[in-house]
Amino acid sequence: MRGEPERIMRATAEEKYLLVWPHGDETLGPLVGHHIATERPDLLEHVNYMCGNPRAASQTPPQRHTNGITPGYTAKGTDLNRSYSPSKKPESYEEWRAQEILRETRNHRLTLDLHTSTTDIGRCMLISERYRDDEGVREIIAASPISRIVVLPENITMPNGAQVELATTGLIGNVAGSVSVEYNRELAAETGVEDTLLLIDGLVSGTPRVAPQEREFFNVSDFVLKTQDPGEDAKNFKMCDLGYYPVLYGENSYRKDPTKPYLGFAAATREIEII
Ligand SMILES: [Zn+2]
């Protein structure tokens, strides 16, 4: 499942679906890819699987992204999920991979971007505000058993006025009909594969395998800055004392990492819709 992704790109059906494993140190992507290859070969006609970052994934231990400058590139490795800049000449290995992935998404009807989180997030999906009402995005939500959806804005304004690009540099902000699926690490191993197969079976057959249900949309508006730490008692998706819903919050490594100015995202509002 690590590397040479083109070797398992062989779906022949007219309507194809793409699975992307973007971060080399995360487990949901390869678990799902391995399950399909070994247990559900019937799906290989419809579903392609792509190792997004073969260089990072094939290191021991696997890395989130490459660290140094890969020969042939001019910049150090970057987070693949912040490397989508379609009109720019790639400088890092990940910026080049992002363009390869974008090219592949064009041959596929819908794309799932599979992640694992070290935060205590349970399971959720992430979509871009830009594609909030996109038909393909809604089709993926309707086929998924996951009820929490995080809506990422194109960018976030920092207290000093600087704009930090968010969805615009990720897959979901650049591709209509794409959704990120996020599981915490333990849950990815317990139910992540089963859930994702339920979702894929619903998409491929054209009929969701789950009933319409209440879906909670959390509209991200800010970062949770370290200078405004709501404390370790604050829980993901629960309104905190500071009046917002923390999302992807609480990763201990962020607390300790001086280069990260934030602890997660803050959603100011929550909407409920039956999908
Ligand atoms: Zn990830």
Please give the chain's pLDDT, 275 residues, in tens.
776 666 678 899 999 999 999 999 999 999 999 999 999 999 999 999 999 999 999 999 999 999 999 999 999 999 999 999 888 999 999 999 999 999 999 999 999 999 999 888 999 999 999 999 999 999 999 999 999 999 999 999 988 888 988 888 999 999 999 999 999 999 999 999 999 999 999 999 999 999 999 999 999 999 998 888 888 889 999 999 999 999 999 866 567 777 777 889 999 999 999 99
- The answer to whether 90 and 102 are in contact (CB under 8 A) is no
- Check residue 166 and give its pLDDT: 86
- The answer to whether 236 and 247 are in contact (CB under 8 A) is yes
Under DSSP, is residue 86 helix (H, G, I), strand (E, B) or coil? coil
Cα–Cα distance for residue pair 260/252, rounded to 1 Å:
11
Q: How far is the CA of 252 from the centre of ligand 1 (A)?
A: 16
- The answer to whether 213 and 203 are in contact (CB under 8 A) is no
Q: How far is the CA of 108 from the centre of ligand 1 (A)?
A: 21
| pTM for this predicted structure | 0.95
Q: How far is the CA of 8 from the centre of ligand 1 (A)?
A: 21
- The answer to whether 154 and 166 are in contact (CB under 8 A) is yes
φ, ψ for residue 48 (rounded to 5)? -105, 150
Q: How far is the CA of 116 from the centre of ligand 1 (A)?
A: 6
The gap between the terminal CA atoms of the chain, to the nearest Å, is 33
Q: How far is the CA of 204 from the centre of ligand 1 (A)?
A: 24
Q: Ion ligand 1 — residues with CB under 5 Å?
A: 23, 26, 115
Q: How far is the CA of 117 from the centre of ligand 1 (A)?
A: 7
